[in-house]
A and B are shown apart, each in its own frame.
Chain A
Amino acid sequence: MIGLISYLVFFLTISAILAIAVLGLNLQWGNAGIFNGGVVAFFGTGAYLMIILGGPERAGELGGFGLPWPIALAGGAAAAGLLAVVVGLATTRLRHDYLAIATFGIAVAIEAFVRNATYLSGGAKGIRGFERPLEALVDNPFLYSLLYLALTVAFLAIVYAGLSRLVSSPYGRLLRAIREDETAARSLGKNPARARLEAFVIGAVIMGFAGGLYATFYAFISPQDLAPILTFQIWAMLIVGGAGNNLGAVVGTFVVWGCWVASGNALSSLAPQELQLYAGTLQYILIGLIIVVTLLVRPRGLLPERLQVTKRPGPQNTGVVSSAGEQYQS
C-alpha cells in the first residue's frame, strides 16, 4: 500500500514539475503563437545551472558553489531566460518557423554541449548528488517526498495564478492580438517583435524553473534527461490539453504523462521479452500519434481556449477588414 502511495506521490511530483514547463510553453505557443522546438534546452539549462550553482563541489570540475537552493533555482531560471534572449533576438523578427528551427537547434547544441563539456557538466555521466532543501530536517524519505510534492504543487499554483493574471491583463490581450494578426497589431502602434521576445523569454524562464525543480527532485541531472523526446512530450501535453488554456495545459500534462507512464508499465509487464528492447520505440510512436491525431481530430484540445470576442459596432469592423484587404493587394 505504502509502495503504491509513494509511487503515486512520485508520479504526481513529476507531473506537477512538467505542468509548470507546459504552462511556460502555453504562454509562448498558446498565447503568443511562438513556436518553441527546443523546450528541453531551456528546461535543461535551468536544471544544470541549478545543480551547478547549488550543488556540492566536484573534484576537478567547475561549479559546486553550494549556493542556497532558492538562489540556485533562480539562477537556473535566469540562465534559461538568457538563452532565450540570444535565440529570440535572432529570430523573433523573422519568418515564424525559423524560430522553430533555431530552438530545435539550440536543444541539439545544448545536449551536445553538456555531453562534452565535462569540466562543467560532468559529461555523459552527468552531475550526481545534491542536498535537497530541508532534507536534513525530514529524515523519513516518504515524508520528504510528500513535502517535496507539496512544494512543487505550491509552485505550480503560483505559476498558474501568475500566468492567469498575465494572460487576462492588457499584455495578454496584446500577445493574442499579435498571434492573430501581427500586421494589425503593428498598425495600432504596438511592437510585436518586442512583445513576442518578452513572452518567449518569460516562457523560457518558467521552463528553466521547472528544470531546476526536476534536477532538485532527482538530485541528479545527465544528458539523458535532455533527450529531444521531452520536448515532444511537453508539446503533446499542451496540444491534448488545449493550447491557450492554462487549465487545459495542466490537465493535458496529467493525461499525457499518465498515458506515457501507463504504456511504459504495460509494455514492461505484458510485452514479450524480444519486444522489450522496442518498448521505447513504441512509446515514441504513441507520442507522435498523440500529437498528429489530436491536431487532426481535436485541434483545440480537451479544454479549448475560451476566446474573448469583443464585439464592436459595424463601421469599425469594416474599417479593419478593408485595411486587411489593402494589405492583401499590395
Chain B
Amino acid sequence: MIQALFDGVLVGSILSLGAIGLTLVMHILRFANFSHAELLSVGAYCALTFDAALSGIAPVLAELIGPFSMSAALALATLAAAVVTGLTAVLIDRLVFRRLRDTAGPLTMVFASFGVALIMRNLIALVFGLQTERFTDAISFATMISSDPLLLIKPDQVGILVIALAAMGALHLVLTRTTLGFALRAVAENPTLAQVNGIALPSMIRLTWIIGGGLAAVAGVLYGIDNQLSPVMGRDLVLSLFAAAIVGGLGSVTGAMLGGFIVGLASSFAILLLPAGYKPAIPFLVILATLYVRPNGLFGEAR
C-alpha cells in the first residue's frame, strides 16, 4: 500500500514534467500533439550519447555520485540534452506544424503529429537499436534508503523525485517572477490580447517548444534512470501524459503537475486491484472518468 503510494508519486513526478510541455503546446498551439512523448525519448537518448562522450573525454566525470547511479557526466549530459531536445521541438515545428498552422485546421496537425511520432520513434530505433539501454550498468541495489519489505526505496528514486520537483519549481519561478513568464501565461490566456500588448507570437511559440522539449528531456532521463531506455518509451508514455494534461485542465501548468501525480498514483494503485497487464489501460480510464465528471479538468477553463 505504502509502496504503491511511493511508486505512484515517483512515476507521477516524471509524468508531471512531461505533461507540462504537452499542456502548454495543446493550449497555446491548439492541438493535441501525439509526438510530444517522443521528445522524452529524444532527450533520454541524447543524454545517453552525451554521457558516453563526456565520460570518454573526462573519465573523472563518470564517477558515480555517492549512492546514486548518476554521475556529473550524466548531469551535464542531461542539461545538454534538454537544450538539444528543445531545439529539436522547434525544428519539428518549423518543418511540419508551422506550415500546417497557416493552411490547415488543428485536427490536421493532430494527424501530422501521429506521423511525426512514428517517424521520430522509429528513427531512434534505427539509430540506437531496438534493444533497451541503461545509463549505467552499476547496480545500485547495494544501498537502500529503506529496505523495509513494505517499502523499498532506492537512493536513485529519491534523486529522481528531487530533480523533478526542482525542475518544476524552476519553471514555477520563471512563470511567476519574470516578464517572460508573464508573457507566456498571457499568450496561453489570450493570444490576441498578448499580441496587441506587444508580444510577438512566433517567439512565444518557440519558447513554448523549448520549455516543453527541455522538460520532456529531463523527464526522459529520469524515466530512463528509473526504468530503462527503449525506443518505444514514448509510445508507452503518451497516453499517461495526455491523461495528466486532461485531468489537470488544458493550459494549466499547475494542473499538469497535479495531473501527473494523479495518473501516477492511479496506475500504481490500480495494479493492486487489477492484473498488471491492464496497466496500459489505466490512463484511458482516468481520461474517460475526467471527461464524464469534470470535462475541463481540475484547473481548465471551458472553451
Contacts and interface: CB of A to CB of B under 8 A. Distances in A.
In the complex, is A directly touching B at CB under 8 Å? Answer: yes
Q: How many residues of A sit at the interface, in one of the four size bands?
A: 35 or more
Contacts of A228: 235
Contacts of A125: none
A105 B288 contact: yes
Nearest to A229: B118
B34 A104 contact: yes
Contacts of A287: 115, 118
Interface string B84-125: 000000000000100110011011101110111111011101
Interface string B174-189: 0000000000000000
A105 B115 contact: no
A292 interface: yes
13 contacts: A37-B34, A37-B114, A90-B291, A100-B107, A108-B280, A112-B280, A113-B278, A115-B277, A235-B111, A277-B130, A285-B122, A292-B119, A299-B103
Interface residues of B, number: 49
A15 interface: no
Given A95-B303, A105-B288, 18 more contacts: A93-B295, A94-B295, A98-B32, A98-B246, A101-B287, A106-B284, A108-B280, A115-B277, A278-B125, A284-B121, A284-B122, A285-B119, A285-B122, A291-B118, A292-B96, A295-B111, A296-B99, A296-B112
B38 to A, nearest CB: 11
B203 to A, nearest CB: 24
Given A104-B239, A285-B123, A291 B111 contact: yes
Nearest to B124: A281
A98 B250 CA distance: 10
A92 B234 CA distance: 27
Given A97-B107, A295-B112, A109 B119 contact: no
Nearest to A94: B295
Contacts of A109: 280-281, 284-285
A142 interface: no
A320 B259 CA distance: 41
B271 to A, nearest CB: 12
A214 to B, nearest CB: 22
A56 interface: no
Contacts of A299: 103-104, 108
- Chain B CB within 10 Å, residue with most, of A102, A288, A299: A288
